[in-house]
Amino acid sequence: MPFTSLGLSPALLRAVSAHGYLAPTPVQAAAIPATLQGRDVLGCAQTGSGKTAAFALPLLQHLESAPQHSPRRALVLVLVPTRELCTQVGEEIRKLALHLPRPLKVAMVFGGVSINPQMMRLRGGTDVVVATPGRLLDLVAHNALSLGSVATLVLDEADRLLDLGFAEELARLLTLLPPKRQNLFFSATFPAAVQALAQSLLHEPVRIEVLPTSQSLPDITQRAIAVDAGRRTQLLRHLIGQHQWRRVLVFVATKHAAEIVADKLRKARIYAEPFHGELSQGKRTQVLADFKASRLKVVVATDVAARGLDIAQLPVVVNYDLPRSAVDYLHRIGRTARAGESGVAVSFVSADTEAHFRLIEKRQHLSLPLEQIEGFEPVQTAAEVAPSGGGIKGKRPSKKDKLRQAARLGADAAPATGAASKT
Ligand code: AMP
């Protein structure tokens, strides 16, 4: 199906072809006509499916014929869970709006940076505001923006919004919106809380489902490599050298591990930086910009980077620590093979995390051979490894176990907490 059959205006068709998009993705083909008709949409789509343009194109078309925004008011509100996603979505909307007959104003507002410039920018009003919930509420409290003219609400990554504890802010924001509006609701997963929110928010929505299974990511080669927890950094260095990986996103379980693994890589002359929620916004932006511009080879990140980030030409994702859940696994590996490219996702599996990995595999309907790399064959067995935080159920760690564990922690960065730690 070509873009021309979706009912988009000439200006937007120009923008789409300037972007090099040849045909709509499945979520775009389904969401664009429904949104143009003014329907509410409930989209189950994973990141990388093209969902930003799926909601941005029709709402830009509505704005083409909408009256000019008034001071301190916004016509479209896009709520996103993270600062990075805010910038990414805002920039994509701006690009798609480039050829519209009147210049549109798209404001991006998020926390972690000074509020004053954002207040100044909103003074004249805005067509679109892309926001994280907390900062948006602050701006409303400062009378910098009223949400009383919002005609369209987009909730992007609704599951993540709730995961990150935004439920209360969301509920407060919803009371500030006019009751009559169009709602576009996107989420990669639909746990009970997300379903309840969707039900309370949407009016006879058009349901769109792009199945979130790893089989629907055909261009990602998934690998599992068995390695002792204490040798993961060495193995990572080996793989980077052997495969000449240009750009690698490495996921770890904790901020501490992100710092230490990045540090170890730098000491081995591999230019790496950590990326986690405790870094300043300036630092996070800098790391991403350096990574995207290939000034950085490796980013070692917590799950803060797992959702929504769009890094073109990211050939490799490594699960140094396994993710907590099958859904997180999907989000992490979805950072590679974006927009029709191919990619590799490697998971390091050690004796104490193998059972957890098998569970992820089962939930993702996967069956990966557990590879061994010459020189890195694991020697530890599950019985020998006492995971931190109490050891294997039913087995108290012996003195020898504790000594082994201490040696392992000293030898490597991240304690082998596997999936349990918070980011
Ligand atoms: P998203 O799911 O919105 O994060 O989009 C993922 C990536 O797909 C982004 O790099 C988009 O620029 C790209 N993209 C979106 N729509 C299309 C399309 N119709 N054809 C090719 N690439 C697209």
| CATH domain 219-384 topology | Rossmann fold (3.40.50)
Closest atom, ligand 1, to C-alpha of 308? 4
The two counts, helices (H) then strands (E), for the chain are 15, 14
Three-class secondary structure of residue 130 per DSSP: strand
| Ligand 1 pocket residues where CB is under 6 Å | 21, 24-25, 28, 47-53, 310, 338-339
For residue 162, name the pLDDT band (cuts at 50, 70, 90).
confident
Give me the residues paired with residue 346 across strands: 223, 318
**Contacts by residues 16-25 (CB-CB < 8 Å, ≥ 24 positions apart):** 16/53, 16/57, 16/96, 18/98, 18/99, 19/53, 19/95, 19/96, 21/50, 21/53, 24/50, 25/49, 25/50, 25/54
The rounded Å distance from CA 51 to ligand 1 centre is 7
Site of tokens 């104490």: 352
Q: What is the pLDDT of residues 13-62, one digit of tens each?
A: 999 999 989 899 889 999 999 999 999 999 987 767 789 999 999 999 99
Q: What is the pLDDT of residues 236-245, one digit of tens each?
A: 999 999 999 9
Q: What is the pLDDT of residues 69-111, one digit of tens each?
A: 788 899 999 999 988 899 999 999 999 999 999 899 999 999 9
Q: Whose CA is nearest to atom 5 of ligand 1?
A: 50
Q: What is the pLDDT of residues 251-265, one digit of tens each?
A: 999 999 999 999 999
- Put residue 48 in one of left, alpha, beta given phi > 0 → left and psi -120 to 50 → alpha: left
Query: What is the percent of the chain with per-residue pLDDT over 90, rounded to a whole number?
Result: 59
For residue 218, name the pLDDT band (cuts at 50, 70, 90).
low
Three-class secondary structure of residue 362 per DSSP: helix
Query: Quick one: CA torsion of 19, 296, 223, 384, rounded to 10 degrees?
Result: -150
- Burial class of residue 404, CB neighbours in 10 A (0-12, 13-18, 19+): middle
Q: What is the mean pLDDT of residues 2-21?
A: 94
Helix runs in 202-295, H state only:
232-243, 255-267, 281-292
Closest atom, ligand 1, to C-alpha of 46? 2
CB 75 within 8 A of CB 152: yes
Three-class secondary structure of residue 193 per DSSP: helix
Give the Cα separation of 128 and 9 in Å (integer). Answer: 19
The rounded Å distance from CA 80 to ligand 1 centre is 17
Q: What is the pLDDT of residues 304-317, one digit of tens each?
A: 766 656 676 788 99
Domain ranges across the chain:
3-209, 219-384
Structure tokens at 204: 């006879």
Question: According to the model, what pLDDT value does residue 415 have?
Answer: 36
Question: According to the model, what pLDDT value does residue 342 have?
Answer: 78
For a ligand 1 pocket test, name from 13, 22, 52, 78 the mutation site with the most ligand atoms within 8 angstroms of its C-beta.
52
Residue range 3-209, CATH number: 3.40.50.300
Q: Which residues contact 303 (CB under 8 A, 6 or more apart)?
A: 251, 323, 324, 328, 331, 332, 423
The rounded Å distance from CA 373 to ligand 1 centre is 35
The rounded Å distance from CA 397 to ligand 1 centre is 49
Question: According to the model, what pLDDT value does residue 220 have?
Answer: 84
Mean pLDDT value across the chain: 85
Query: What backbone torsions phi and psi does residue 209 show, to the nearest 5 degrees?
Result: -130, 120
Site of tokens 């390695």: 227
Q: Whose CA is nearest to atom 4 of ligand 1?
A: 48
Which segment of 3-12, 224-233, 409-418 scores lowest on mean pLDDT?
409-418
Closest atom, ligand 1, to C-alpha of 22? 20
Q: What is the pLDDT of residues 356-368, one digit of tens each?
A: 999 999 888 888 9
Question: According to the model, what pLDDT value does residue 346 have?
Answer: 96
The rounded Å distance from CA 28 to ligand 1 centre is 10
Tell me, yes or no, if the two domains 3-209 and 219-384 fold the same way. Answer: yes
Give the Cα separation of 14 and 188 in Å (integer). Answer: 29
Question: According to the model, what pLDDT value does residue 269 have?
Answer: 93
Q: Whose CA is nearest to atom 22 of ligand 1?
A: 339
Give the Cα separation of 197 and 164 in Å (integer). Answer: 15
Q: Whose CA is nearest to atom 1 of ligand 1?
A: 50
Q: What is the mean pLDDT of residues 189-210?
A: 88
Structure tokens at 230: 């204490």
Question: According to the model, what pLDDT value does residue 328 have?
Answer: 84
